[in-house]
Amino acid sequence: MPLMTSWVASANDANHPFPLNNLPYGVFSTEGSDPRCGVAIGDMILDVTAAEAEGLMALTDEPLFDMPFWNVLMEEGPAVWTAFRERLTALLAEGSSEQGKVEPLLVAAADADLHMPFAVSEYTDFYAGKQHAQNMGAILRGSPDLPANWLHIPIGYNGRASSVVVSGTPIHRPNGQTKAPDADMPSFGPSKRLDIELEMGAIVGTGSDFGQPVTVDEADAMIFGYVLLNDWSARDIQGWEYQPLGPFQGKAFGTSISPWIVTAAALDSFRAPTPARDKELLPYLNGSKDGLYDIELEVLMQPEGADAASVIAKTNYNRMYYSAAEQLCHHAIGGCEMNAGDLLGSGTISGPVREEYGSLMELSWAGREPFTLETGETRGFIEDGDTLTLRGNARGDGFTIGFGDCTGEILPAVSWPAE
Protein backbone atom coordinates (compact mmCIF):
# COMPACT_ATOMS: atom_id res chain seq x y z
CA MET A 1 0.00 0.00 0.00
CA PRO A 2 1.47 3.42 -0.95
CA LEU A 3 1.15 6.71 0.93
CA MET A 4 -2.46 7.83 1.32
CA THR A 5 -2.53 11.60 0.81
CA SER A 6 -4.33 14.02 3.12
CA TRP A 7 -5.37 17.66 2.88
CA VAL A 8 -3.30 18.07 6.08
CA ALA A 9 -0.07 18.81 4.21
CA SER A 10 2.36 17.73 6.95
CA ALA A 11 0.89 14.22 6.87
CA ASN A 12 2.22 13.68 3.35
CA ASP A 13 5.90 13.72 4.32
CA ALA A 14 7.30 10.21 3.77
CA ASN A 15 9.21 10.41 7.06
CA HIS A 16 6.44 11.83 9.22
CA PRO A 17 5.22 9.24 11.76
CA PHE A 18 1.54 10.20 11.47
CA PRO A 19 0.33 9.98 7.86
CA LEU A 20 -3.21 9.13 6.81
CA ASN A 21 -2.10 5.49 6.73
CA ASN A 22 -1.56 5.59 10.50
CA LEU A 23 -4.21 7.66 12.34
CA PRO A 24 -3.15 6.72 15.90
CA TYR A 25 -5.41 7.37 18.88
CA GLY A 26 -4.48 9.43 21.93
CA VAL A 27 -5.77 11.73 24.64
CA PHE A 28 -4.70 15.38 24.70
CA SER A 29 -5.40 18.70 26.33
CA THR A 30 -4.60 22.30 25.54
CA GLU A 31 -4.29 25.30 27.84
CA GLY A 32 -7.54 25.69 29.73
CA SER A 33 -9.15 22.53 28.36
CA ASP A 34 -9.88 19.12 29.83
CA PRO A 35 -8.29 15.98 28.33
CA ARG A 36 -10.20 14.55 25.38
CA CYS A 37 -9.81 11.99 22.62
CA GLY A 38 -7.77 12.92 19.57
CA VAL A 39 -6.28 11.39 16.43
CA ALA A 40 -2.82 12.39 15.19
CA ILE A 41 -2.60 13.48 11.55
CA GLY A 42 0.70 15.04 10.53
CA ASP A 43 1.60 17.89 12.87
CA MET A 44 -2.02 18.25 13.97
CA ILE A 45 -4.47 16.47 16.27
CA LEU A 46 -8.11 16.03 15.28
CA ASP A 47 -10.33 16.68 18.29
CA VAL A 48 -12.51 13.56 17.98
CA THR A 49 -14.59 14.46 21.03
CA ALA A 50 -15.56 17.73 19.35
CA ALA A 51 -16.10 15.99 16.01
CA GLU A 52 -18.58 13.62 17.63
CA ALA A 53 -20.37 16.53 19.32
CA GLU A 54 -20.60 18.27 15.91
CA GLY A 55 -22.30 15.21 14.40
CA LEU A 56 -19.36 14.09 12.29
CA MET A 57 -18.89 10.77 14.16
CA ALA A 58 -22.34 9.20 14.56
CA LEU A 59 -21.27 5.54 14.68
CA THR A 60 -23.49 4.28 17.50
CA ASP A 61 -26.58 5.40 19.41
CA GLU A 62 -24.49 6.39 22.43
CA PRO A 63 -21.41 8.68 22.55
CA LEU A 64 -18.05 6.95 22.15
CA PHE A 65 -15.74 9.85 22.92
CA ASP A 66 -17.22 11.80 25.81
CA MET A 67 -14.68 10.27 28.22
CA PRO A 68 -10.90 10.93 28.14
CA PHE A 69 -9.90 7.39 27.13
CA TRP A 70 -10.47 5.02 24.21
CA ASN A 71 -11.91 2.07 26.13
CA VAL A 72 -15.50 2.80 25.09
CA LEU A 73 -14.61 2.42 21.41
CA MET A 74 -12.56 -0.70 22.20
CA GLU A 75 -15.57 -2.40 23.74
CA GLU A 76 -17.63 -1.91 20.57
CA GLY A 77 -15.54 -4.47 18.69
CA PRO A 78 -13.89 -4.80 15.27
CA ALA A 79 -16.88 -3.80 13.13
CA VAL A 80 -17.13 -0.38 14.80
CA TRP A 81 -13.31 -0.04 14.85
CA THR A 82 -13.34 -0.49 11.08
CA ALA A 83 -16.23 1.91 10.54
CA PHE A 84 -14.53 4.57 12.66
CA ARG A 85 -11.24 4.24 10.79
CA GLU A 86 -13.04 4.45 7.44
CA ARG A 87 -14.89 7.58 8.60
CA LEU A 88 -11.64 9.21 9.75
CA THR A 89 -10.01 8.44 6.42
CA ALA A 90 -12.93 9.94 4.49
CA LEU A 91 -12.80 13.14 6.57
CA LEU A 92 -9.04 13.63 6.29
CA ALA A 93 -8.25 12.35 2.80
CA GLU A 94 -7.20 14.76 0.08
CA GLY A 95 -10.29 16.01 -1.71
CA SER A 96 -12.67 15.39 1.20
CA SER A 97 -15.91 17.30 0.74
CA GLU A 98 -16.04 17.86 4.51
CA GLN A 99 -12.68 19.56 4.92
CA GLY A 100 -14.34 22.83 5.84
CA LYS A 101 -16.16 21.20 8.76
CA VAL A 102 -13.12 19.33 10.03
CA GLU A 103 -10.43 21.99 9.71
CA PRO A 104 -11.65 24.07 12.72
CA LEU A 105 -11.38 20.93 14.86
CA LEU A 106 -7.63 20.53 14.33
CA VAL A 107 -5.20 21.47 17.09
CA ALA A 108 -1.46 21.94 16.62
CA ALA A 109 0.31 19.00 18.28
CA ALA A 110 3.00 21.41 19.48
CA ASP A 111 0.38 23.17 21.64
CA ALA A 112 -1.00 19.98 23.21
CA ASP A 113 -0.16 17.94 26.29
CA LEU A 114 -0.57 14.18 25.95
CA HIS A 115 -2.13 11.89 28.55
CA MET A 116 -2.71 8.18 29.09
CA PRO A 117 -4.57 7.08 25.95
CA PHE A 118 -6.59 4.35 27.65
CA ALA A 119 -7.54 3.13 31.10
CA VAL A 120 -5.40 0.09 31.86
CA SER A 121 -7.60 -2.68 33.21
CA GLU A 122 -4.82 -5.12 34.05
CA TYR A 123 -1.17 -5.47 33.04
CA THR A 124 0.70 -8.67 32.21
CA ASP A 125 4.35 -8.76 31.19
CA PHE A 126 5.83 -11.62 29.20
CA TYR A 127 9.34 -13.02 28.81
CA ALA A 128 9.06 -13.90 25.14
CA GLY A 129 12.30 -12.72 23.52
CA LYS A 130 14.57 -15.72 22.97
CA GLN A 131 17.84 -13.79 22.65
CA HIS A 132 17.08 -11.83 25.82
CA ALA A 133 16.22 -15.00 27.74
CA GLN A 134 19.45 -16.64 26.59
CA ASN A 135 21.49 -13.56 27.47
CA MET A 136 19.98 -13.36 30.94
CA GLY A 137 20.73 -17.04 31.48
CA ALA A 138 24.34 -16.51 30.46
CA ILE A 139 24.68 -13.46 32.72
CA LEU A 140 22.93 -14.85 35.80
CA ARG A 141 23.59 -18.58 35.59
CA GLY A 142 26.63 -18.83 33.34
CA SER A 143 24.69 -20.69 30.65
CA PRO A 144 22.44 -19.54 27.77
CA ASP A 145 20.28 -22.63 28.18
CA LEU A 146 16.61 -21.78 28.44
CA PRO A 147 14.29 -22.97 31.21
CA ALA A 148 12.66 -26.30 30.34
CA ASN A 149 9.24 -24.71 29.74
CA TRP A 150 10.40 -21.68 27.73
CA LEU A 151 10.16 -23.19 24.24
CA HIS A 152 6.66 -24.54 24.95
CA ILE A 153 4.72 -21.66 26.58
CA PRO A 154 4.82 -17.84 26.64
CA ILE A 155 6.03 -17.18 30.20
CA GLY A 156 4.58 -14.11 31.93
CA TYR A 157 3.67 -12.56 35.25
CA ASN A 158 0.88 -10.28 36.45
CA GLY A 159 2.13 -6.72 36.92
CA ARG A 160 0.63 -3.53 38.32
CA ALA A 161 -1.82 -1.57 36.17
CA SER A 162 -1.48 1.34 38.62
CA SER A 163 2.20 1.70 37.73
CA VAL A 164 1.64 2.17 33.97
CA VAL A 165 2.26 5.82 33.02
CA VAL A 166 2.37 7.81 29.81
CA SER A 167 5.57 8.95 28.13
CA GLY A 168 7.13 11.99 29.78
CA THR A 169 6.19 10.97 33.31
CA PRO A 170 9.33 11.07 35.52
CA ILE A 171 10.24 7.86 37.34
CA HIS A 172 11.76 7.85 40.83
CA ARG A 173 14.59 5.44 41.44
CA PRO A 174 12.96 2.76 43.61
CA ASN A 175 13.90 1.85 47.14
CA GLY A 176 13.92 -1.75 48.19
CA GLN A 177 15.74 -4.71 49.66
CA THR A 178 18.93 -5.95 48.02
CA LYS A 179 21.55 -8.45 49.11
CA ALA A 180 25.20 -8.46 48.12
CA PRO A 181 26.60 -11.93 47.31
CA ASP A 182 29.03 -11.80 50.23
CA ALA A 183 26.57 -10.30 52.77
CA ASP A 184 24.85 -12.25 55.53
CA MET A 185 21.81 -9.99 55.57
CA PRO A 186 19.94 -7.88 53.00
CA SER A 187 20.05 -4.09 53.14
CA PHE A 188 17.51 -1.39 52.32
CA GLY A 189 18.04 1.59 50.03
CA PRO A 190 17.86 2.92 46.46
CA SER A 191 18.43 0.50 43.61
CA LYS A 192 21.96 0.68 42.23
CA ARG A 193 21.27 -1.40 39.10
CA LEU A 194 18.39 0.42 37.44
CA ASP A 195 17.55 -0.74 33.94
CA ILE A 196 15.09 -0.55 31.07
CA GLU A 197 13.46 -3.20 28.93
CA LEU A 198 12.58 -2.39 25.32
CA GLU A 199 9.15 -3.87 24.67
CA MET A 200 5.96 -3.54 22.65
CA GLY A 201 2.61 -3.42 24.43
CA ALA A 202 -0.50 -5.04 22.95
CA ILE A 203 -3.85 -3.57 24.04
CA VAL A 204 -6.85 -5.87 24.33
CA GLY A 205 -9.93 -4.32 22.76
CA THR A 206 -12.69 -6.89 23.10
CA GLY A 207 -12.65 -9.17 26.11
CA SER A 208 -13.39 -12.83 26.71
CA ASP A 209 -15.81 -14.51 29.12
CA PHE A 210 -14.72 -15.99 32.41
CA GLY A 211 -14.03 -19.70 31.99
CA GLN A 212 -13.82 -19.51 28.20
CA PRO A 213 -10.52 -19.89 26.31
CA VAL A 214 -9.83 -18.21 22.97
CA THR A 215 -7.92 -19.42 19.91
CA VAL A 216 -4.86 -17.63 18.55
CA ASP A 217 -6.94 -16.30 15.65
CA GLU A 218 -9.64 -15.06 18.03
CA ALA A 219 -6.96 -13.46 20.17
CA ASP A 220 -5.50 -11.72 17.12
CA ALA A 221 -8.90 -10.18 16.36
CA MET A 222 -9.26 -9.04 19.99
CA ILE A 223 -6.14 -6.84 19.86
CA PHE A 224 -7.05 -3.18 19.37
CA GLY A 225 -3.56 -1.75 18.89
CA TYR A 226 0.00 -1.41 20.07
CA VAL A 227 2.23 0.99 22.01
CA LEU A 228 5.92 1.14 22.82
CA LEU A 229 6.54 -0.07 26.36
CA ASN A 230 9.48 0.47 28.72
CA ASP A 231 9.41 -2.03 31.57
CA TRP A 232 11.70 -0.23 34.01
CA SER A 233 13.55 -2.82 36.11
CA ALA A 234 15.58 -2.67 39.32
CA ARG A 235 17.90 -5.61 38.73
CA ASP A 236 19.34 -5.76 42.23
CA ILE A 237 15.92 -5.68 43.91
CA GLN A 238 14.63 -8.21 41.39
CA GLY A 239 17.62 -10.50 41.90
CA TRP A 240 16.95 -10.82 45.63
CA GLU A 241 13.18 -11.23 45.47
CA TYR A 242 12.36 -13.16 42.31
CA GLN A 243 12.77 -16.75 43.56
CA PRO A 244 10.47 -18.61 43.80
CA LEU A 245 7.53 -16.49 42.56
CA GLY A 246 9.11 -14.10 40.07
CA PRO A 247 9.25 -10.28 39.78
CA PHE A 248 7.57 -8.08 42.37
CA GLN A 249 8.96 -4.77 43.66
CA GLY A 250 11.79 -4.81 41.13
CA LYS A 251 9.17 -4.15 38.44
CA ALA A 252 6.24 -2.50 40.24
CA PHE A 253 7.58 1.07 40.44
CA GLY A 254 6.94 2.14 36.84
CA THR A 255 6.11 1.04 33.30
CA SER A 256 6.09 3.73 30.59
CA ILE A 257 4.10 3.59 27.35
CA SER A 258 4.09 5.78 24.26
CA PRO A 259 1.19 8.25 24.03
CA TRP A 260 -0.42 7.07 20.78
CA ILE A 261 -2.20 3.77 20.17
CA VAL A 262 -1.24 2.53 16.72
CA THR A 263 -4.10 0.31 15.61
CA ALA A 264 -3.69 -3.26 14.49
CA ALA A 265 -5.32 -2.20 11.21
CA ALA A 266 -2.58 0.38 10.55
CA LEU A 267 0.07 -2.31 11.08
CA ASP A 268 -1.59 -5.09 9.11
CA SER A 269 0.62 -4.71 6.01
CA PHE A 270 3.73 -5.03 8.20
CA ARG A 271 2.94 -8.49 9.55
CA ALA A 272 5.94 -10.79 9.92
CA PRO A 273 6.17 -14.50 10.78
CA THR A 274 7.29 -15.90 14.10
CA PRO A 275 10.62 -17.74 13.83
CA ALA A 276 11.07 -21.44 13.16
CA ARG A 277 10.27 -23.30 16.37
CA ASP A 278 13.00 -25.14 18.23
CA LYS A 279 10.23 -27.34 19.67
CA GLU A 280 6.85 -27.88 18.03
CA LEU A 281 4.19 -25.92 19.91
CA LEU A 282 1.08 -27.63 21.18
CA PRO A 283 -1.80 -27.25 18.69
CA TYR A 284 -3.73 -24.66 20.70
CA LEU A 285 -0.90 -22.16 20.11
CA ASN A 286 -1.14 -22.38 16.32
CA GLY A 287 -2.74 -19.56 14.33
CA SER A 288 -3.39 -18.85 10.67
CA LYS A 289 -1.78 -15.37 10.45
CA ASP A 290 1.72 -14.01 10.80
CA GLY A 291 1.70 -12.69 14.37
CA LEU A 292 4.71 -10.37 14.55
CA TYR A 293 5.33 -7.01 12.83
CA ASP A 294 8.27 -5.45 11.03
CA ILE A 295 8.76 -2.48 13.35
CA GLU A 296 12.20 -0.88 13.65
CA LEU A 297 13.02 -0.05 17.26
CA GLU A 298 15.74 1.97 18.96
CA VAL A 299 16.78 3.02 22.44
CA LEU A 300 18.32 6.43 23.21
CA MET A 301 19.99 7.63 26.41
CA GLN A 302 20.69 11.25 27.39
CA PRO A 303 22.48 12.06 30.66
CA GLU A 304 21.45 15.19 32.53
CA GLY A 305 23.27 18.16 31.00
CA ALA A 306 24.36 16.27 27.86
CA ASP A 307 23.93 18.11 24.57
CA ALA A 308 22.21 15.24 22.81
CA ALA A 309 20.84 11.74 23.21
CA SER A 310 22.89 8.73 22.09
CA VAL A 311 21.41 5.73 20.29
CA ILE A 312 22.50 2.74 22.36
CA ALA A 313 20.53 -0.07 20.66
CA LYS A 314 18.60 -0.81 17.47
CA THR A 315 16.50 -3.90 16.83
CA ASN A 316 13.12 -5.00 15.42
CA TYR A 317 9.88 -6.36 16.86
CA ASN A 318 10.16 -9.28 14.44
CA ARG A 319 12.93 -10.68 16.69
CA MET A 320 10.33 -12.00 19.17
CA TYR A 321 9.71 -15.73 19.61
CA TYR A 322 6.04 -15.50 20.64
CA SER A 323 3.47 -13.13 19.15
CA ALA A 324 0.99 -11.02 21.12
CA ALA A 325 -1.86 -13.21 19.84
CA GLU A 326 -0.11 -16.35 21.11
CA GLN A 327 0.48 -14.66 24.45
CA LEU A 328 -3.17 -13.60 24.71
CA CYS A 329 -4.37 -17.08 23.75
CA HIS A 330 -2.20 -18.69 26.43
CA HIS A 331 -3.28 -16.08 28.99
CA ALA A 332 -6.93 -17.06 28.52
CA ILE A 333 -6.49 -20.81 27.97
CA GLY A 334 -7.31 -21.72 31.57
CA GLY A 335 -10.41 -19.54 31.62
CA CYS A 336 -8.89 -16.21 32.72
CA GLU A 337 -11.28 -13.43 31.73
CA MET A 338 -9.65 -10.82 29.51
CA ASN A 339 -11.01 -7.26 29.51
CA ALA A 340 -10.98 -4.22 27.27
CA GLY A 341 -7.95 -2.19 28.29
CA ASP A 342 -5.78 -5.14 29.34
CA LEU A 343 -2.13 -4.45 28.47
CA LEU A 344 0.27 -7.23 27.47
CA GLY A 345 4.00 -6.45 27.50
CA SER A 346 5.90 -8.44 24.88
CA GLY A 347 9.01 -9.07 26.93
CA THR A 348 12.41 -7.56 26.16
CA ILE A 349 13.20 -7.41 22.45
CA SER A 350 16.83 -8.26 21.69
CA GLY A 351 18.56 -9.38 18.52
CA PRO A 352 21.55 -11.66 17.93
CA VAL A 353 24.29 -9.02 18.28
CA ARG A 354 25.12 -6.64 21.13
CA GLU A 355 23.95 -3.59 19.16
CA GLU A 356 20.44 -5.12 19.24
CA TYR A 357 20.22 -5.85 22.95
CA GLY A 358 17.12 -4.26 24.51
CA SER A 359 18.33 -3.74 28.09
CA LEU A 360 21.34 -2.22 29.82
CA MET A 361 21.79 -5.49 31.69
CA GLU A 362 22.70 -7.03 28.35
CA LEU A 363 24.44 -4.03 26.77
CA SER A 364 26.85 -3.73 29.73
CA TRP A 365 26.78 -7.46 30.56
CA ALA A 366 25.53 -6.80 34.10
CA GLY A 367 27.76 -3.74 34.46
CA ARG A 368 30.97 -5.68 33.87
CA GLU A 369 31.47 -4.13 30.41
CA PRO A 370 30.31 -0.47 30.58
CA PHE A 371 29.58 1.23 27.26
CA THR A 372 30.43 4.76 26.15
CA LEU A 373 27.82 7.23 24.88
CA GLU A 374 28.38 9.50 21.90
CA THR A 375 28.79 12.41 24.33
CA GLY A 376 31.60 10.67 26.21
CA GLU A 377 29.87 9.42 29.36
CA THR A 378 30.07 5.74 30.29
CA ARG A 379 27.21 3.69 31.66
CA GLY A 380 26.63 0.26 33.14
CA PHE A 381 23.19 1.05 34.53
CA ILE A 382 20.99 4.17 34.67
CA GLU A 383 22.10 7.13 36.77
CA ASP A 384 19.87 9.84 38.26
CA GLY A 385 19.05 12.51 35.68
CA ASP A 386 19.35 10.13 32.72
CA THR A 387 16.52 10.23 30.19
CA LEU A 388 15.71 7.05 28.27
CA THR A 389 13.69 7.12 25.06
CA LEU A 390 12.21 4.31 22.98
CA ARG A 391 11.30 4.88 19.32
CA GLY A 392 9.52 2.68 16.82
CA ASN A 393 8.68 2.99 13.14
CA ALA A 394 7.30 0.73 10.43
CA ARG A 395 8.49 1.77 6.95
CA GLY A 396 6.03 1.50 4.07
CA ASP A 397 5.99 2.53 0.41
CA GLY A 398 6.58 6.27 0.76
CA PHE A 399 5.25 6.51 4.33
CA THR A 400 6.17 5.83 7.96
CA ILE A 401 4.00 4.46 10.75
CA GLY A 402 5.27 5.87 14.06
CA PHE A 403 4.26 5.58 17.71
CA GLY A 404 5.59 8.80 19.23
CA ASP A 405 8.49 8.69 21.66
CA CYS A 406 8.27 6.71 24.90
CA THR A 407 10.41 8.79 27.26
CA GLY A 408 11.16 8.86 30.95
CA GLU A 409 13.65 10.71 33.15
CA ILE A 410 15.00 9.04 36.28
CA LEU A 411 14.66 11.14 39.44
CA PRO A 412 16.52 10.40 42.70
CA ALA A 413 14.95 7.93 45.12
CA VAL A 414 12.47 9.24 47.64
CA SER A 415 14.09 9.63 51.04
CA TRP A 416 12.69 6.86 53.21
CA PRO A 417 11.96 6.74 56.07
CA ALA A 418 11.06 10.41 55.75
CA GLU A 419 13.60 12.66 57.44
First to last CA, the chain: 60
3-state secondary structure of 338: coil
Q: In angstroms, rounded to a whole number, what is the distance separating the alpha carbons of residues 10 and 18? A: 9
Q: In angstroms, rounded to a whole number, what is the distance separating the alpha carbons of residues 45 and 27? A: 10
The CA-based angle 139-142-148, given to 5 degrees, is: 95
Element (H, E) at 44: strand 44-47
Choosing from 16, 115, 132, 330, the catalytic residue is: 132
Q: In angstroms, rounded to a whole number, what is the distance separating the alpha carbons of residues 249 and 247? A: 7
| Cβ partners under 8 Å of residue 268, min gap 6 | none
330 among known catalytic residues: no
3-state secondary structure of 226: strand
The CA-based angle 328-332-337, given to 5 degrees, is: 115
DSSP string, 290-319: --EE--EEEEEEE-TT-SS-EEEEEEEGGG
| 3-class SS string, 357-390 | CCCHHHHCCCCCCCEECCCCCEECCCCCCCEEEE
CB atoms within 10 A of CB 341: 22
Cβ contact 365:335 at 8 Å: no
Question: Could you give the residue ranges of the DSSP H alpha helices within 46-106?
Answer: 48-53, 71-76, 78-92, 99-102
CA 406 to chain CA centroid, Å, is 8
CA 62 to chain CA centroid, Å, is 30
Q: In angstroms, rounded to a whole number, what is the distance separating the alpha carbons of residues 363 and 394? A: 24
User: What is the amino acid identity at position 79?
Assistant: A
Dihedral sign of CA atoms 258, 321, 297, 359 in order: positive
Virtual CA dihedral for 343, 347, 353, 359, nearest 10 degrees?
A: 90
Enzyme catalytic residues: 132
